[in-house]
Amino acid sequence: MHNDIEKILLSEQEIEAICKKIGSQITADYENKKPVLVGLLKGCIPFMSDLAKHINTHVEFAYMSVSSYHGGISSSGDVKIKLDLDISIKDRDVLIVEDIVDTGSTLSTITKMLKSRDAKSVKVVTLLDKPAGRVVEFYPDYIGKTIPKEFVVGYGLDYDEFYRNLPYVGVLKPSVYTK
């Protein structure tokens, strides 16, 4: 285990099991469809890659980069698009792939936006869900694991852009934040 990690919340083995389980659910739910997986950069990368290996139907990959600012007690969250899709999603089945849902602002904004582009359907798969952090009502369609309100890193998730390459998800040691 990395020296900056206090404890592991999701091991490599658990991640593998999650990808297999959700992958087969998605395979069944999207039978005879050709969904577009819309990954939210950069956190989606390891999860989208591993999950897609277990989806046994034609899928297209597309990416977006968005940033959220949660000012104080503001409930709306100001979500900005930094990089937009390079394809039309009109009449397509869209499956947004996210690393973690916390306040819910990002996904509630992005799902509404993609629906307004006349997608046939818009669903969300997230590796992690922190329901205790919700500010905006939002329910992901597929959830890898529900976790407590702790700040986690690894497997796509970062602290100051680092730790995304860890093969597991863990909680940082408090000493790392105070360096």
Q: What residues are annotated to the active site?
A: 102
Which residue among 23, 39, 43, 104 contacts Mg ion (CB under 5 A)?
43
Q: To the nearest whole angstrom, how small is the minimum distance from the Cβ of residue 61 to Mg ion?
A: 17
* 64: partner contacted, choices Mg ion, ligand XMP, none (Cβ within 5-8 A by kind): none
Q: In Å, how far from its chain's centre is CA 80? A: 16
Site string for ligand XMP, 5-24 (x = CB under 6 A): --------------------
Which one-letter amino acid corresponds to residue 165?
Answer: N
Q: Considering the complex, state which of residue 26 and residue 98 has its C-beta at the smaller distance from ligand XMP.
A: 98
* 157: partner contacted, choices Mg ion, ligand XMP, none (Cβ within 5-8 A by kind): ligand XMP
Q: Which stretch binds Mg ion (CB under 5 A): 28-36, 37-45, 71-79, 168-176?
A: 37-45
Residue 125's closest CA among 165, 98, 160, 90?
A: 98
Pairing between β-strand 36-41 and β-strand 60-69 as defined by DSSP bridges? parallel
Which one-letter amino acid corresponds to residue 137?
Answer: E
Q: To the nearest whole angstrom, how small is the minimum distance from the Cβ of residue 99 to Mg ion?
A: 5
* 19: partner contacted, choices ligand XMP, Mg ion, none (Cβ within 5-8 A by kind): none
Q: How many CB atoms lie within 10 A of CB 138?
A: 19
Indicate whether 46 belongs to the interface with Mg ion (CB under 5 A).
no
Cα atoms found within 13 Å of the Cα of residue 45, Cβ hemisphere only: 13
Which residue among 48, 64, 97, 99 contacts ligand XMP (CB under 6 A)?
99
* 102: partner contacted, choices ligand XMP, Mg ion, none (Cβ within 5-8 A by kind): ligand XMP
Name the E strands within 42-77: 60-69
Read off the tokens for 64.
């977006």
Output helix, strand, coil percentages for the chain, rounded to the nearest 5.
25, 35, 40
Binding positions for ligand XMP, rule: CB under 6 A:
43, 68, 77, 98-107, 151-153, 157-158
